């Protein structure tokens, strides 16, 4: 199971390697046309919460893939080592960050929001 998760994360990382700041866009395998507003709407409405869960799983896989992709780099920090899971094993800090970011930037792409999250996590790890 861990192998499958690691491979999924690695594929997510390989599918989108871009920086939100420099508009060096790459293709994403999923959610490439999805706006932050969709994340916020699905998180609010219980009837479509399953969609939000799928989006969250994709985001978890993406940030995990980016983190794992640097495992051979001695200078790279494990930027997820300080992300604490909740009692169900879910990284609520990640979804809370996306809730806040997407609420403030509803027209931004969801993929770009996850890239911004990844960059934020890397910056936080460097300052610890």
pLDDT at 49: 67
What pLDDT band is residue 38 in, cutting at 50, 70 and 90? very high
What pLDDT band is residue 118 in, cutting at 50, 70 and 90? very high
124 vs 27 pLDDT, higher one: 124
Find all residues with CB under 8 Å of 21, minimum gap 6, and list them. Answer: 119
pLDDT at 116: 96
Torsion, Cα of 97, 103, 109, 110 (10° steps): 40
Q: Over the chain, what is the mean pLDDT?
A: 77
The domain limits of the chain are 2-11+35-126
The 10s digit of each residue's pLDDT in 39-90 is 999 888 765 667 788 898 899 999 999 999 988 888 888 988 888 776 666 6
Burial of 123 (0-12, 13-18, 19+ CB in 10 A): exposed
């Amino acid at each position: 199971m861990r192998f499958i998760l690691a491979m999924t994360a690695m594929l997510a990382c390989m599918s989108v390697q871009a920086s939100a700041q420099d508009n060096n866009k790459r293709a994403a395998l999923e959610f490439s046309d999805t706006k932050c507003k969709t994340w916020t709407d699905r998180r609010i409405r219980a009837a479509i919460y399953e969609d939000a869960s799928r989006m969250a799983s994709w985001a978890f896989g993406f940030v995990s893939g980016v983190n794992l992709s640097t495992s051979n780099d001695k200078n790279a920090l494990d930027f997820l080592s300080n992300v604490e899971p909740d009692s169900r094993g879910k990284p609520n800090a990640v979804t809370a960050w996306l809730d806040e970011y997407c609420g403030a930037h509803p027209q931004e792409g969801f993929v770009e929001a996850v890239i911004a999250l990844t960059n934020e996590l890397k910056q936080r790890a460097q300052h610890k």
